Structure 1
Amino acid sequence: MKKVLLASASLFALSAFAPAMAADLAARPYTKAPVAAAAVYNWTGFYLGGFGGYAWENTSTDPKMKGGFAGGTVGYNWQASNIVFGLEADGGWADVNATAGTPGVLAVTSRINSLGTVRGRVGVAFDQVLLYGTGGFAWINNKLTTDVLGVTASDSQFHTGWTVGAGVEAFFAPQWSVKGEYLYRSLGSENYFAGTVSSGTLNLHSVQVGVNYHFGGPVVAKY
């Protein structure tokens, strides 16, 4: 008889507390699990950077002009969907040279001591990676030096022309990107030493790498 009474009391207590438990569960709001933010890169904005590279003359004759260069870059990008349009200018120091003949006896040295470009860029962005083509205006400052029995004379001329190429750029931090590109440069002929020497057209291949800092924070959080 005692067992029956205890069982009845237990059932009564459970039935009394069940509605309160159900009400408590119903009152608790559903909480959605937090979702981590995904970084989406937008290329729009100004940037500044530095670059360095190597150039060599496109000619079938020797000696060929070749050497290194380094400088700075400024530019602006505008992104529409995944298409990126840009305008970029760069310039810097160079030591791209060649010497024909024997120095101290009879020799002529041609040396590019500065170079630069002003170019448009059009590319396709794959989030933080940009593949692009580029082209526009190119210039160099070239110095021609003659050496006859140790007596030297020099003349410098500013050459202008065009350039075309392609490259890839990628963000490695929220406001920093690294790029690599190839450019072909064709510079018009200039006359040296009061018109007595003509340089002919100078055509150069070049490869370069650079690092850019992008202003305005190109990373957008996507939830």
Structure 2
Amino acid sequence: MKKFLLSSVAAIVLVGAGAASAADLPSRKGPVVAPVYAPIFTWTGFYVGANAGYGFGNVNAGTVFGGRTVSIGDLDGFVGGGQVGYNYQVGQIVLGAEADFQGADLSTGSNAFGDSVRTEYFGTVRARVGFAVDRFLPYITGGWAYGNVKTTIGGLGSTDKTHTGGYAVGGGLEYAFTNNWTAKVEYLYVDLGEKNVLNSGVKVGTDFSVVRAGLNYKF
């Protein structure tokens, strides 16, 4: 009986020692890695950017002294500038506001009488409404527009006026290729309204379309 008890105690000690040694051995399992979730992209935030494109449009005029009708023709040329704005996303709806300023080389050239119209800058302040499909954002936009119109009427002189009663409407598609950088293509119709030039009775109105590409950095 005594030998049996001693043998049992010895066996228990050996099993315990083996378990302790096993517990001290390094685990074959790797460290527990917490799951990594990619952040969900959002359009919410401020942004700044630059753009460049092409403008083309019309010049509407009237009649000068002596009954001569002013027919200046179409204008076209390069446009480029910068924009700043803010977007706020609710579900898939993206609401935003954007202001841009454009340098322009929009000109009609001169007709046979020396009449011409030129626009060297314009800008807009617009609202934007878009529908986000992950990183794609088709949108529509519209708001206020302003710009300068240099008008030359042959035999009467020239004038340079800033038109502030215009409007702009359009739409575009923007894509976020990183969480901070986005690229867009956009169409705008800009109407700068009419102004009387040189007290001649001629009201010159300028409207044009703009097709441009842009790059934005989102904060």
TM, length-normalised to structure 2: 0.75
Is 1:78 equivalent to 2:88 in the alignment? Answer: yes
Does the 8 Å contact 1:40/1:128 carry over to 2?
no
Letter in 2 for 1:174: N
Other structure's SS at 1:99 match: coil
How far did residue 91 of structure 1 move?
0.8
Does the 8 Å contact 1:49/1:213 carry over to 2?
yes
Match of 1:126 among 127, 133, 140: 133
1:52 corresponds to: 52
How far did residue 137 of structure 1 move?
0.8
Does the 8 Å contact 1:117/1:136 carry over to 2?
yes
How far did residue 195 of structure 1 move?
4.4
Identity of aligned residues (%): 38
How far did residue 194 of structure 1 move?
2.4
55-64 vs 68-77, which moves further: 55-64
Letter in 1 for 2:218: H
Does the 8 Å contact 1:63/1:100 carry over to 2?
no
2:174 corresponds to: 169
Q: Which has the higher strand share?
A: 1
Q: How does 1:197-208 map to 2 (within 5 A)?
A: 197-199=202-204, 201-208=205-212
Other structure's SS at 2:194 match: coil
How far did residue 110 of structure 1 move?
0.2
1:182 corresponds to: 187
Q: Structure 1 CA distance, aligned partners of 2:200 and 2:44?
A: 47
CA spacing shift, 1:194–1:127, aligned 2, 3 Å = same
Match of 1:191 among 173, 196, 204: 196
Q: How does 1:80-159 map to 2 (within 5 A)?
A: 80-102=90-112, 106-148=113-155, 153-159=157-163
Does the 8 Å contact 1:65/1:96 carry over to 2?
yes
Gaps of 5+ in 2: 1-14, 61-70
Other structure's SS at 2:132 match: strand
Q: Structure 1 CA distance, aligned partners of 2:186 and 2:111?
A: 34
Letter in 2 for 1:55: G
| Alignment length (residue pairs) | 194
How far did residue 80 of structure 1 move?
1.1
Does the 8 Å contact 2:72/2:111 carry over to 1?
no
Q: Deviations over 1:78-101 (max 9, x none)?
A: 111121100000012111110342
Match of 2:214 among 188, 193, 210: 210
Letter in 2 for 1:43: W
Other structure's SS at 1:41 match: coil
Does the 8 Å contact 2:58/2:73 carry over to 1?
no
1:42 corresponds to: 42
2:66 corresponds to: none
Q: Deviations over 1:165-194 (max 9, x none)?
A: 111111223311111101112221111112
How far did residue 36 of structure 1 move?
4.5
1:6 corresponds to: none
Q: Structure 2 CA distance, aligned partners of 1:65 and 1:59?
A: 7
Q: Structure 2 CA distance, aligned partners of 1:166 and 1:175?
A: 22
How far did residue 197 of structure 1 move?
2.2
Does the 8 Å contact 2:59/2:75 carry over to 1?
no
How far did residue 147 of structure 1 move?
4.3
Does the 8 Å contact 2:72/2:117 carry over to 1?
no
Does the 8 Å contact 2:105/2:119 carry over to 1?
yes
Q: Structure 2 CA distance, aligned partners of 1:90 and 1:157?
A: 20
